Amino acid sequence: MSGTEETVIIMACPTCRRSVPWREESRYRPFCSERCKLIDLGAWADESHRIAGDSAYDDLSSEG
C-alpha cells in the first residue's frame, strides 16, 4: 500500500475562473497568470492618460 497522495488545493482564478493549483509554482496565485492579476488590480483599465488643461494660445507678435 502506497499512500503518498499529495493533496493539492485547487483555486479558481478570480479573473478568468481557471483552475489554479495552490503551489509554490503558481506565483500569481490565486490568479492563474500575471495578466489576470493585473486585470484584477485594474492596471489595464488605466491605459488612458488624461492630461487636463488645454494649452492656451499665446500670440507672441514681435513687431520690430
d(CA 21, CA 28): 11
| Binding of Zn ion by 16 (CB under 5 A) | yes
Residue position matching grid coordinates 488624461? 50
CB 51 within 8 A of CB 32: no
Instruction: Quote the least distance from Cβ 15 to Zn ion, whole Å.
Output: 4
CB 18 within 8 A of CB 37: no
| Total of residues contacting Zn ion (CB under 5 A) | 6
- Quick one: 7 or 33, whose CB is closer to Zn ion? 33
| Binding of Zn ion by 15 (CB under 5 A) | yes
Residues making contact with Zn ion (CB under 5 A): 13, 15-16, 18, 32, 36
